[in-house]
Homo-oligomer: A and B are copies of this chain.
Amino acid sequence: MDILKTKAEMQTWSAAKKRQGKSIAFVPTMGYLHKGHVSLLEIGKPLSDELVLSIFVNPTQFGPNEDLDAYPSNIQNDLDLAEQAGVTAVFLPDKNEMYGPDYQTHVYLDHLPRYLCGRSRPIHFGGVATVVTKLFNIVMPDVAVFGKKDFQQLAVIRQMVKDLDFNIRIIGGEIIRETDGLAMSSRNAYLTPAQRASAVCLSRAINLLKQRVDQGVRSVPDLVREAESFILSFDHTRIDYIELCHPRTLEPVDTVQSETLLALAVQVGKSRLIDNALIGPT
C-alpha cells in the first residue's frame, strides 16, 4: 500500500496506473475510519484494479463554530483498516498541501445546498463540492464511492459530476449501523455514555415514522410533530431539523405520496448527528 502525501505524488501515481490501463476506485474520507468507511472500500474493491483512500479533514467545509479542531483522528488505525480492505494507495495530504496561499477558486451549486443540513451549515456543501473537485482531479478515479448517511452530500456530488461532466461513476453505499440502530459516524466518538444512549433516538424516530406511514399517515406536519416529541423525550437532544423531501431535488413535501426522503439532524451533547431513510410508497 502506497502512502502519498503530496498532490504531485498522488497525480503521478494515478497517471502511471492509467497509462498501464488500470482502473481506479476512490473513497474520499476525513479519516477516523469506522465500519461505514470500510463498507465503502469493500464496494470499491471489486470494481477496479486500484483502490485509493484519501484522508483529509477539509477546513473549508466547516463553519466558524463547528468541530474542525475537535475532529477525531487516528491515522495508524486508518492505515491498518485500509490495508486490510485492500487499499492500494492512501492520499494523506497535510493542511497546507491542499490550498495554496493565493487560493481563490470555488465550486458551488444553486439549489441542493439550500435544504436540510445546508440551512444550518451554509458554507458546507460549497466546501465539499470544491474539495471533491480537487480530489477527483488529483486521484483521477473511474469510480468513487460515498456513503448514503450523508445523503445530501451524495446528492450534491452526483449533481456536480453530471453538471461539470466528470467522467466518474458515483456509487452510494448503504448506511452501516450499530446493533441498536445508531448510524456509524466518526462524530459518535464525542458522545458520553449517557449521550450515546440517547443517540439511538434518530434511527428509532425513522422507524416510528416508517410505521406511521405504513399505517396510512400522509401529513408531513403530523409526522414531523410526532418525531419531534419522540426525540425530545430523550435526554441531551436538540433538534436541528426533521424534514421530508423529494429524494432528488431535496425540496420539502407536504404529504407523503411517493418515495420520500426522511432526513434529520439532532444535536446530542457535542455531536451533531444525522440520519435518513427513504420512506413511503415506491
On A, residues with C-beta under 8 Å from B are 7, 11, 15, 18-19, 21, 99-100, 102-112, 129-130, 133-134, 137-138, 140, 159-160, 162-167
Question: Is A133 within 8 A of B164, CB to CB?
Answer: yes
Question: Which residues of the partner chain B approach A134 to less than 8 Å between Cβ atoms?
Answer: 163-165
Contact of A107 among B11, B103, B105, B140 (CB under 8 A): B105
Contact B11 A137 (CB under 8 A): no
A254 to chain B, nearest CB (A): 22
Q: Looking at the complex, which one of B104, B162, B167 makes contact with A15 (CB distance below 8 Å)?
A: B167
User: How many identical chains are in the complex?
Assistant: 2
Residues of B within 8 A of A108 (CB): 105-106, 108
A105 touches B137 (CB 8 A): no
Q: Which of B11, B21, B165, B167 contacts A165 (CB 8 A)?
A: B11
What's the minimum C-beta distance from A188 to chain B, rounded to whole angstroms? 32
B159 touches A104 (CB 8 A): yes
Residue of B nearest to A99 (CB): B163
Question: Measured between C-beta atoms, what is the minimum distance from A116 to chain B in Å?
Answer: 16
Q: Is the CB of B104 within 8 A of A111?
A: yes
Residue pairs across A and B with Cβ atoms less than 8 A apart, 6 shown, are A100-B163, A105-B110, A105-B159, A105-B164, A133-B164, A137-B167
A98-B126 Cα distance, complex, nearest whole Å: 22
Write out the residue numbers on chain B whose beta carbons fall within 8 Å of the beta carbon of A19. Answer: 21
Chain B contacts of A18 at CB under 8 A?
A: 18
> Is the Cβ of B129 less than 8 Å from the Cβ of A163?
no
A104-B163 CB under 8 A given contacts A18-B18, A19-B21, A21-B19: yes
Q: A19-B21, A137-B167 are in contact. Are A107 and B104 (CB under 8 A)?
A: no
Least Cβ distance of A249 to chain B in Å?
Answer: 8
Residue of B at shortest CB range from A19? B21
**Least Cβ distance of A234 to chain B in Å?**
37
User: A105 contacts B163, CB within 8 Å?
Assistant: yes
Residues of B within 8 A of A109 (CB): 104-106
